[in-house]
Amino acid sequence: MLLACSGVEAAADHHHLKRALQIARCLPQQVREVTSTGETSVYEVECREGAGRVLTLVCTQARCLVDDHGRHANEEDEP
């Protein structure tokens, strides 16, 4: 299931998602719910700053964990 909505709408009703985006320093341009099973949801978030910066967040009712694809790509380039 793909659900596309503005970042404000998705973040407003999910406190942990909003907090994880703040910690990752991401102002969401677009938030898509990729999948949702039981108490776990997976989101892809396109950030406004940084061309092409996309985060994947795995959220439960207790918290959200962030995977910053751009950060991993930059780490591979460093010696």
Domain that holds residue 39: 3-77
Q: How far is 26 from 68, CA to CA, in rounded Å?
A: 10
Q: Binning pLDDT at 50, 70 and 90, where does residue 2 land? A: very low
* Residues 50 and 70 sit within 8 Å (Cβ to Cβ): yes
Domain count, the chain: 1
Task: Indicate whether 21 pLDDT > 90.
Answer: yes
Give tens-digit pLDDT for 24-71.
999 999 999 999 999 999 999 999 986 779 999 999 989 999 998 765
Phi, psi of 78 (to 5 degrees): -80, 145
Q: What pTM value is reported for the model?
A: 0.70
Q: How far is 29 from 48, CA to CA, in rounded Å?
A: 5
